[in-house]
Amino acid sequence: MDQFKGQPRLPKFAVPNRYDIRLKPDLIACRFSGSVSVNLDIVTATNFIVLNAAELSVTNDSVSFTNRDSSKVFKPSKVELFEDDEILVLEFSEQIPTGLGVLSIQFEGTLNDRMKGFYRSTYEHNGEKKNMAVTQFEPADARRCFPCWDEPACKATFKITLDVPSDLVALSNMPIAEEKIDNNLKTVAYQESPIMSTYLVAVVVGLFDYVEDHTPDGIKVRVYCQVGKANQGKFALDVAVKTLGIYKDYFDTPYTLPKLDMIAIPDFAAGAMENYGLVTYRETALLYDDQHSAAANKQRVAVVVAHELAHQWFGNLVTMEWWTHLWLNEGFATWVSYLAADGLFPDWKIWSQFLHECTDGLKLDGLAESHPIEVEINHAREIDEIFDAISYRKGASVIRMLQSYLGAQIFQRSLASYIKRHACSNAKTEDLWAALEEGSGEPVNKLMTSWTKQQGYPVVSVKLNNQNLEFDQSQFLSSGAQGEGHWIIPITLCFGSYDVRKNFLLQTKSETRDIKELLGSQVDGDKSANSWIKLNVDQAGFYRVKYDELLTAKLRYAVEKRLLSPSDRFGILDDSYALSMAGKESLTSLINLMGAYREEDDYTVLSNLITISHKVQRIAADAVPDLLEYFKLFFFKVFQYSAERLGWDPKPGESHDDALLRGEILTSLAQFGHDLTLDEASKRFQAFLEDRNTPLLPPDLRRAVYVAVMKRASKSNRSGYESLLKVYRETDLSQEKTRILGSLASSSDPELILEVLNFMLSSEVRSQDAVFGLSVNWEGRDVAWAWLKEHWEHIAKTYGSGFLVTRFVSAVVSPFASLEKAKEVEEFFASHPMPSIARTLKQSLERVHINANWVQNVQNEKSLADTVKELAYRNY
């Protein structure tokens, strides 16, 4: 039996093609029992059958294999479950011949509280606390519910039957085929599913309300939620019905199941999960309340629903062959969710916000401890850590880059043919490239391999030398270190106007192009000396650009005079920030550029400017604390124009972007300690405490006001803190609860921060939500680290088997900026090892080193003090 231990994949001598599963959950004892019969094709005569199982108690006497041809029953001589490898090994004294047969197993398990496998979630009904039973199987946890071949390539059909209390709603992937009630128990049998992977099987049992609609071609769509919240499902229902239509046209393939259920689960680790026909969500990602949800909540619901429904084609109908190709699922669903949201809500200008996805990918991929898009997976334990910004956001960004290069129509046609070719089957990255290559005639495989098989991305340096443009590529690393990579880069550039543009592939390390030769008759010789040059037009490419001093100055002028598109203004700022962090550009140069954005009015650009301002403030606090007040004054000046333009009160008919921006600008001013903002927030909060429906505090302003309240709260002045906790305890809206949790750590008092952190681990906070309270102020870093060490055992036990534990590590460790602290963190985790955080820990420590280097570089800048003082007092 030992030969099967330590293997990344199951042996291939038995292939499942149908499961008949029966489950009986006990919601009071939090246990379940079940049986499974698996139709197998034995492709190699064998004395062993090896499948996945974990945390299950298998009834040895119940295990048998029946050969279909001879009806002979084989009983195993030995049954062993290897928990480390999560495999169940059945040894037979007599060899099982090739051919078809049925494997039968009975088992029992626990409805755990770890939000994976078959687990319990709690809710209140009529004041009574109750349990519901929920499944979450991706990536590799179906094995915690029933023994199975728990690999994406082992697709089969599923016939599911549930024995549940007769007063409860019981849902699975397919519609109900038959229901029998026997007193307090009912047996619900579902139609057999189409062929699919185990990670997409789903079961939910509990008390629910629902709203319902149908698509024009008759698919029944429902949104289920806790009793009394049905109205909050209407927005998501409308998005889902319309999105199914958008995808049917885009993929040229209809949705393949007779129904689609979407359900809000109170305890849910991820944002949502695309189970075939039964999509599960956190409440915050599915429910929308007209009275109490912000514009940001509405957008999140639309984008998450669009993301999950994209998976019904990209992931469920066509499934990655192995987790190495996870990015095919997640990168694509991320990209196409923006396409759907843009189709539904064109006034949101959602594609400009896609730049945030791109930036998140660039940030993680700028680390030496990043990983390629296609990453080797050797154990189920490693899979959780790659559900990250590389698989989702870099994946989405390189798809967008490729679509931009090939053209939208060719890209869509090729995708439709890929879906048709691999429907009800599995695919690898190369299969997608082959379809796109066939449809476009372009060497897609050669072009894209450098983006998916090697980690990192390039920075393209560009210099203007007489009439020549000199291009040079090298790997960008946030540490400033020299990288190794080499890419085929789709270069796009504009010269003084969006009418004068050129595209070409940079395939070598460096290249020189004559401007007139490159742009031909488009260039007017007299004007060329004063013209700006912008590479990576509209940020369609996944790379950074470093300009020489002359080109940088011209671009700063073009930003100030609003000659560039919002996407290009975003890109220039983001690249400058990254180059400053890496020591390739001075902080002085970065803040000079930031000053050019003082009249910026685009939401996405300003949102990034806000993020960068806070990071610069943290670095300044460590590097040049005596200049901190000047930095704050400068940031007040930068945001003053927008703050005054928007004011505090929403305007009739204003854009979605302005509603988003008002909240972010005011939150930022509160975090910087802007007194006028804090005063106004305090007044509005008092009005809100007296009347929860006051027009003075609409949902879009609440986060800003809650942050402001906490900014002035301390151990000795805690009335604001206590009032926020009261609001938290009274509301049953998850979005309001997470809004408050995300604001509580904004205090500057370390003692109160400690109290807040302890509250996050209390029974009043669902374990999925504790991570919202970890973003402490600069002043609270040491307290948060001491707290993490003290509570590590509890955190590891509660979260250790899922991806949420990685959030604790990155949130608490990454903000530090000293090598001594990095050493201390390293030593602590060396004596408290946990394999599932290994990658995250390395990345967090690398960020600490990057911060420390940046601090040192800033301390060596001679002209910084004069520049920041001048900018702080300049009259614009």
Catalytically active residues, by annotation: 308
Looking up tokens 């949800």, which residue turns up?
293
Which among 763, 774, 829, 839 has a CA at the least distance from the CA of 796? 829
| CA dist., res. 841 & res. 806, Å (int) | 8
Q: What count of other Cβ atoms lies within 10 Å of the Cβ of residue 249?
A: 12
DSSP per-residue letters across 685-737: HHHHHH-TT-TTS-HHHHHHHHHHHHHT--SSS-HHHHHHHHHHHH---HHHH
**Which residues are CB-contacts of 603 (< 8 A; sequence separation ≥ 6)?**
349, 352, 353, 657, 658, 660, 661, 664
| 8 A C-beta contact, residue 153 and residue 322 | yes
6: left (phi over 0), alpha (psi -120 to 50) or beta: left
Give alpha helix (H) positions in 407-530: 408-422, 429-440, 444-452, 515-519, 525-528
Q: Indicate the helix (H) or strand (E) that contains 180.
A: strand 176-182
Measuring CA to CA, how many Å separate 351 from each of 577, 795, 804?
22, 38, 29
DSSP state of 110: E
* DSSP type of residue 262: E
Record the tokens describing residue 285, joined without a space.
Answer: 């990602």
CB burial of residue 666 (10 Å; 0-12, 13-18, 19+): buried
Beta strand 203-206 pairing with 176-182: unpaired
Q: Phi and psi at residue 651, in whole multiples of 5°? A: -100, 145
Alpha helices (H) in 561-651, listed in sequence order: 566-581, 587-595, 603-623, 628-646
How do beta strands 425-427 and 278-282 pair?
Answer: unpaired
Rounded distance, CA 556 to CA 597, Å? 9
**Sign of the dihedral defined by the CA atoms of residues 435, 436, 439, 443, in that order:** negative
Sign of CA dihedral 9, 14, 18, 24: negative
